[in-house]
């Protein structure tokens, strides 16, 4: 039965929702290995065995939103707030360029005040100037109006990550205060695409009240949205957030949660062959080699942290975040070693766009 489903998946890239659920429910090691091998074969065929790096700059934990799962939400008074000076954000990105990463990701809490919008615009232009337009830039700065997305695109950003968090509208409502809107989130994803960005989205895996059927729907949602990249990862409880109340009833043990995250990656690769899929840091929070396992299950992007060590401990969306005592060079050495050890090649000095984006563009011109 499993062989039959996987054979079909390998040939067609299509699975029914019932088949997706049955694959997400696999538990036996030998079955999981077959699933991951299938995804890895598809990855090798469609995007190769090069791992693309995105140097991640988590430049501020000041946030105007109040998502119930997140350690840096507005109402959390126990967090020491910080914002890197403009110069330091630029330096971090330029470091990525010099290190041969090819791309950087600028991520922070959500802000939409005019000073912030203008600051990002200046930073983007300066990074582009200092790197001869060579460094690719991804933004992960939440929901914004169309004009803002446009200004940042014109200033040099070309990819944007905005997770839907869960495609289940009811669950979304339980994870956010009433003024955070699911429809607005979808609208933003559409605006980003319209503006010309390569669009990435994703979900958290293992949320309280989330079912396997929800996760299967999430995968179908990604496919329907025709997205170019996925950054999804395990949900990790944070002790000073409202979702803590569900921990006792809903927490999934780390080993099982990692497995679920890897199954989601494998299925995403099977269903959306030519997109970029990140092995996120939260995988590494569960097991030391979680990200490498992600690459072997179908992911092809890694986002090493390049934020200055002095700020890392304040940017904790979840607790026990790995590598908060390390600096960017330590991350780089450690990662290259890890990637080569599993037979993959680090991609050097290239943007590493998803072939899916190129194909999508060809269709529209
Ligand atoms: N403010 C921006 C970017 C920073 S948050 C935004 O929300 O888009 C980036 C991602 O971190 C969120 O999309 C969410 O999926 C993830 N995140 C937040 N809290 C988390 C937690 N406790 N465990 C795992 N991921 C979390
Ligand atoms: Fe802010 Fe993003 Fe955390 Fe929500 S997930 S509270 S928007 S940083």
* Ligand 2 atom at minimal distance to the Cα of residue 64: 1
Contact (Cβ atoms closer than 8 angstroms) between residue 17 and residue 247 = no
The model's pTM is: 0.95
Confidence of residue 260 (pLDDT cuts 50, 70, 90): very high
Confidence of residue 168 (pLDDT cuts 50, 70, 90): very high
pLDDT per position as a tens digit, 120-165: 999 999 999 999 999 999 999 999 999 999 999 999 999 999 999 9
Q: With a 6 A CB cut-off, is 238 part of the ligand 1 pocket?
A: yes
pLDDT, residue 365, reads 52
For the chain, what is the domain count?
Answer: 1
> Per the domain annotation, does 3 fall within a domain?
no
Contact (Cβ atoms closer than 8 angstroms) between residue 35 and residue 43 = no
Q: With a 6 A CB cut-off, is 202 part of the ligand 2 pocket?
A: no
Best probe residue, ligand 2, of 108, 142, 207, 282 (max atoms within 8 Å of C-beta): 142
Of the candidates 45, 33, 101, 48, the residue with the CA atom closest to the CA atom of residue 344: 48
CA of 96 from ligand 2 middle (Å) equals: 24
Q: How far apart are CA 309 and CA 131, in angstroms?
A: 23
Domain of 270?
A: 48-364
Look up tokens 């000041």; give the residue: 62
Of the candidates 202, 124, 123, 130, the residue with the CA atom closest to the CA atom of residue 161: 202
pLDDT, residue 364, reads 62
Best probe residue, ligand 1, of 64, 69, 70 (max atoms within 8 Å of C-beta): 70
* Ligand 2 atom at minimal distance to the Cα of residue 142: 7
Q: With a 6 A CB cut-off, is 311 part of the ligand 1 pocket?
A: no
DSSP H or E segment with residue 239: none
**Tokens at residue 201, please?**
């989205």
* Ligand 2 atom at minimal distance to the Cα of residue 73: 6
pLDDT per position as a tens digit, 294-323: 999 999 999 988 887 777 777 888 877 777
Q: How far apart are CA 338 and CA 288, in angstroms?
A: 11
Task: Inform me whether the pLDDT recorded for 333 exceeds 70.
Answer: yes
> Per the domain annotation, does 26 fall within a domain?
no
Q: How far apart are CA 93 and CA 55, in angstroms?
A: 7
User: In this structure, which long-range contacts are made by residues 124-133, counting pairs with CB atoms below 8 Å and at least 24 apart in sequence?
Assistant: 124/152, 124/155, 124/156, 124/157, 125/155, 125/156, 126/86, 126/90, 127/90, 127/93, 127/94, 127/156, 128/155, 128/156, 130/90, 130/94, 130/97, 131/93, 131/94, 131/97
Q: Which residues contact 72 (CB under 8 A, 6 or more apart)?
A: 61, 63, 79, 109, 315, 316, 317
CA of 80 from ligand 1 middle (Å) equals: 18
3-class state of residue 105 by DSSP: strand
Contact (Cβ atoms closer than 8 angstroms) between residue 42 and residue 277 = no
Confidence of residue 102 (pLDDT cuts 50, 70, 90): very high
Q: Which CATH number is 84's domain given?
A: 3.20.20.70
> Per the domain annotation, does 20 fall within a domain?
no
Best probe residue, ligand 2, of 58, 61, 68, 70 (max atoms within 8 Å of C-beta): 70
CA of 203 from ligand 2 middle (Å) equals: 13
Q: What is the mean pLDDT of residues 210-229?
A: 97
Of the candidates 233, 339, 231, the residue with the CA atom closest to the CA atom of residue 295: 339
Nearest CA to ligand 1 atom 13: 163
> Per the domain annotation, does 342 fall within a domain?
yes
CA of 293 from ligand 1 middle (Å) equals: 21
> Per the domain annotation, does 203 fall within a domain?
yes
Q: With a 6 A CB cut-off, is 99 part of the ligand 1 pocket?
A: no
Sign of the Cα pseudo-torsion (342, 345, 346, 352, in order): negative
| Alpha helix stretches (DSSP H) within 135-199 | 146-154, 169-175, 182-195
> Per the domain annotation, does 306 fall within a domain?
yes
Identify the nearest ligand to the CA of 56 by its number: 1
Q: With a 6 A CB cut-off, is 55 part of the ligand 2 pocket?
A: no
CA of 81 from ligand 1 middle (Å) equals: 16
Q: With a 6 A CB cut-off, is 71 part of the ligand 2 pocket?
A: no
CA of 70 from ligand 1 middle (Å) equals: 6
Q: What is the mean pLDDT of residues 95-100?
A: 93
Task: Inform me whether the pLDDT recorded for 61 exceeds 90.
Answer: yes
- List the Cα angle 309/310/311 in 5-degree steps: 90
> Per the domain annotation, does 162 fall within a domain?
yes
């Amino acid at each position: 039965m499993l062989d039959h489903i996987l054979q079909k998946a390998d040939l067609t890239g299509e699975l029914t929702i019932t088949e997706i659920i049955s694959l997400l429910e696999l538990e036996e090691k030998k079955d999981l290995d077959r699933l991951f091998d299938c995804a890895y074969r598809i990855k090798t065929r469609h995007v190769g065995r090069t791992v693309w790096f995105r140097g991640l700059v988590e430049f501020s934990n000041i946030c105007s939103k109040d998502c119930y799962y997140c350690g840096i939400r507005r109402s959390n008074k126990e967090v020491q707030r910080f914002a890197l000076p403009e110069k330091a954000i630029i330096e971090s990105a330029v470091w990525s360029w010099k290190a041969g990463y090819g791309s950087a990701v600028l991520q922070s809490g959500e802000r939409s005040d005019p000073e912030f919008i203008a600051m990002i615009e200046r930073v983007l232009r300066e990074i582009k100037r200092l790197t001869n337009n060579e460094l690719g830039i991804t933004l992960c700065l939440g929901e914004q109006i169309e004009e803002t997305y446009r200004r940042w695109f014109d200033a040099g950003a070309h990819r944007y990550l905005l997770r839907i968090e869960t495609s289940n509208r009811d669950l979304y409502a339980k994870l956010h205060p009433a003024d955070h809107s699911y429809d607005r989130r979808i609208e933003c994803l559409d605006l980003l695409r319209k503006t010309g960005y390569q669009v990435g989205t994703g979900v958290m895996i293992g949320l309280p009240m989330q079912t396997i059927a929800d996760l299967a729907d999430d995968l179908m949602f990604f496919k329907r949205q025709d997205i170019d990249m996925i950054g999804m990862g395990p949900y990790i409880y944070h002790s000073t957030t409202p979702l803590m109340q569900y921990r006792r009833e809903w927490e999934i043990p780390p080993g099982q949660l990692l497995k679920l995250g890897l199954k989601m990656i494998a299925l995403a690769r099977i269903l959306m062959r030519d997109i970029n899929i990140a092995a996120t840091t939260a995988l590494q929070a569960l097991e030391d080699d979680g990200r490498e396992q992600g690459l072997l299950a179908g992911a092809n992007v890694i986002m090493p942290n390049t934020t200055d060590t002095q700020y890392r401990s304040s940017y904790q969306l979840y607790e026990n975040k790995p590598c908060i005592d390390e600096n960017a060079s330590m991350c780089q050495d450690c990662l290259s070693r890890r990637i080569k050890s599993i037979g993959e090649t680090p991609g050097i000095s290239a943007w590493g766009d998803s072939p899916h984006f190129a194909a999508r563009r060809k269709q529209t011109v």
